[in-house]
Amino acid sequence: MRHFIIDTDTASDDAVALVMALTAPDIAVEAITVVAGNVPVNQGVQNALYTVEQCGGGVPVYTGIAKPLLRPLETAQFVHGADGMGDIGLPLSGRTPAPGHAVDVIIDTITRLAGEITLVTIGPLTNVAVAITRAPEIARLVNRCVVMGGIGLGHGNVVPAAEYNIWVDPEAAKIVFESGIPITMVGWDISQRYAVFTDADADRLQRVSPLGEFCVSIQRRLRDFGREHLMLAGFDLPDPIAMAVAIDPRVATVTRRLHVEIETKSELTRGATVVDHFGVTNNTPNVDVVLEASRERFLELLYAAVQAQ
C-alpha cells in the first residue's frame, strides 16, 4: 500500500480528487487535512466528511488553518457555490471531524511514516507551510509532494498571472517551494488543456454509477463559471488531474525540473509561479513542473474510481 495525506480546501473539484484517492485499491489515505480556501475551513471540513461518506467512510478528516498567513481569506465561492459543492442541496452540516489539528497531523504522520508519504495538496498551502515552519525536517521525510497550483505554461484563472491556490496565500506557497520538499507541480494549464468536460463528457461520466452522478452534479456552479468566465467548453477538474498524477506518475507525459519562485510583493502578479524555463536566473531547479499530460490515462483513473462502488 502507498500512503497519502491529502490537504484540501474541499469544493467541487477537490471532492472528485478525494473520490479518486479514496477508492484506489493500493492507496491508504492516512489523513485528509482541510485548509481555508475555496470555502471557509469549517465548510471544507463538512464537504470532505460528506465525500468520505460517499466512498464508504473510515478516513479521518482534520480541521486546519482558517485564513492565509498574512492576508484575509478570499474564497472561491463565486466559482463553486456558497457551499462549495455546487449549491445542489446536499446535507453538508452536522458531521464531526477527527480530534486534533491538521498541522499536527501532517507533522506526526510524515514523521511516523518517514519516506513513505505522498503529500497531495489541492488547496492553498497554508497548513503545509506552517507544518514545515514548525518542523523543517519533514520536508526531507516526504517521498513526494504533488501540488495542484500555479501555472507551468499559460495564464491564470483568478488574475492574469496566477492560479487561485497559490494566489490566495502566496506567502505560504513561497515557504513550501523554498523548503526542499520534493514538489511535482501540476498547474492550472494542465487542467485547461487535458481535464475539460463538455456536456457529453459529463453525461457519460454521470451515467456510470451513483458516484459518477455525484462527481458531475456538484460541478453545477463550476460549469457555469467555466463557460462564462474562463471560456471553456464546460467545467475543468484541476484537482482530479493532479490527483491522477499522484496516483500514476505516467499521467504526466512531459515533466521538466525547473526553478520556480513565488511572487508575493506585486499586487499585479501576486501568486505568480515564476518558472525559469531557460535557466536565465542560474538558480538551481527545485520543482518538477508538469508540462503535458495524458487525458486518456486521467480518464481511465477517473472512471475506475467511480466504478469502484
Read off the pLDDT of residues 232-269 as tens digits, 9 standing for 90 and up.
Answer: 899 999 999 999 999 999 999 999 999 999 999 998 99
Contact assessment for residue 17 and residue 6, using Cβ atoms and an 8 Å cutoff: yes
CATH label of the domain that carries residue 74:
3.90.245.10
Nearest to 189 by CA among 158, 163, 160: 163
Contact assessment for residue 273 and residue 166, using Cβ atoms and an 8 Å cutoff: yes
Read off the pLDDT of residues 146-182 as tens digits, 9 standing for 90 and up.
Answer: 999 999 999 999 999 999 999 999 999 999 999 999 9
What is the C-alpha radius of gyration for the chain, rounded to an integer number of angstroms?
Answer: 17
Cell numbers for 290? 508538469
Cell numbers for 81? 457555490
Close Cβ partners of 55 (under 8 Å, ≥ 6 residues apart): 18, 19, 22, 23, 211, 309
Predicted TM-score (pTM) of the model is 0.97
Residue with cell 514523521: 111
Encode burial over 101-127: b for 16+ CB neighbours within 10 A, e otherwise. ebbebbbbbbeebeebbbbbbbbbbbb
Read off the pLDDT of residues 12-25 as tens digits, 9 standing for 90 and up.
Answer: 999 999 999 999 99
Q: What total number of domains does the chain contain?
A: 1
State the DSSP string of 72-131: -----HHHH-TTSSTTS-----S--PPSSBHHHHHHHHHHHTTTTEEEEEES-SHHHHHH
Cell numbers for 284? 538551481
Which pLDDT does position 309 carry in this prediction?
Answer: 62
Cell numbers for 164? 487561485
| Domain limits for position 225 | 2-306
Which comes out higher in pLDDT, residue 308 or 35?
35
